Amino acid sequence: MDEALLDNHLAFLAAHRGEVRRSAAAVEVIGESEEFSAWIPLSADAMLPERVGCVRLVPWSGAGWEARLAAAGFEPAEVLVHLEASVGAVLGEPVAPVDSDEDALAFAEVQSAAFLEVGEPDYDWWQKMFADRALQNYRAPDQSLYLLRVNGAPASTTLVLRTGPITGIYAVATKPQYRTQGLATKLLTQAQRDAAGGRLTLQVIAGSDAERLYLKLGFRPAFRSPHFRRP
């Protein structure tokens, strides 16, 4: 069932980060930003495209890919770990999903404050992309965007995306001045509530602080997805 976890992640990428093209041999992710673009082989004998800059492997990609990629000039890069948690009884008050353009834009504001540095390259592009995607997706029936405010100010976000029995957690973010106040924990509890009766998943970089945090919260590795990039 690892394929179902990947399908959920690909659905998020298609909705929020670019385009996903599937075939029997491979999945191609064409990101709005190059960092999200990748080619994922689904068999050992899939033909490697000439102009691909990032290849991402999954357990069912088949054997021999590491050697093939090294011979083609690729180098090992980050490893994405797909985590999964069991869902039991959930206590506490529910959080209402975003239901207006105003709150969707506030959701995007938190994303920008948490993930971007003012003055960095493409800051304006990312800020607009976050806003456009939030406005595009908050009404989608397979998604729920969540926003917490502190004294009226947008402070913390997450979103969940549902594909069959899988509920994926994405866009976990808190503005720096509101961190360590339990806001993200409250939103993760809402994600557990959304996943009741199904499966809950998310993805983190192997060895990161985020991975250590989610392992402490009861998530367990489902599979690893190593990336290989051309230098």
Is residue 113 assigned to a domain?
yes
Is residue 93 assigned to a domain?
no
**In terms of pLDDT, which residue wins out, 95 or 121?**
95
**pLDDT, mean of residues 85-93:** 79
Is residue 34 assigned to a domain?
yes
**Does one domain contain both 30 and 109?**
no
What pLDDT does residue 146 have? 98
**Does one domain contain both 78 and 114?**
no
Give the pLDDT confidence of 171-213 residue by residue, as tens digits: 999 999 999 999 999 999 999 999 988 999 999 999 999 999 8
What pLDDT does residue 166 have? 96
Task: Provide the residue type at 3 as one letter.
Answer: E
Is residue 69 assigned to a domain?
yes
What pLDDT does residue 84 have? 96
What pLDDT does residue 1 have? 61
Nearest 5°: phi and psi at 113?
-65, -30
What pLDDT does residue 60 have? 96
Specify whether the CB–CB gap between 167 and 201 falls below 8 A. Answer: yes
**Domain count for the chain:** 2
Q: Within its chain, how far is the Cα of 221 from the centroid?
A: 15
**Does one domain contain both 110 and 170?**
yes
What pLDDT does residue 177 have? 96
With a cut of 80, say whether residue 88 has pLDDT above it: no
Q: How large is the C-alpha radius of gyration of the chain?
A: 18
With a cut of 90, say whether residue 160 has pLDDT above it: yes
Is residue 67 assigned to a domain?
yes
**In terms of pLDDT, which residue wins out, 119 or 19?**
19
Give the pLDDT confidence of 42-62 residue by residue, as tens digits: 999 999 999 899 999 999 999
What pLDDT does residue 217 have? 86
**In terms of pLDDT, which residue wins out, 4 or 91?**
4
What range does the domain containing 142 cover?
101-197
From residue 18, give the alpha-carbon distance in Å to each of 9, 96, 132, 134, 221: 12, 27, 12, 14, 26
Three-class secondary structure assignment of 115-183 = HCCCCCCCHHHHHHHHHHHHHHHCCCCCEEEEEEEECCEEEEEEEEEEECCEEEEEEEEECHHHCCCCH
Q: What is the CATH number of the domain that holds 193?
A: 3.40.630.30
With a cut of 90, say whether residue 73 has pLDDT above it: yes
Is residue 96 assigned to a domain?
no
**Does one domain contain both 159 and 128?**
yes
Is residue 122 assigned to a domain?
yes
Q: What is the mean pLDDT of the chain?
A: 95
With a cut of 80, say whether residue 89 has pLDDT above it: no
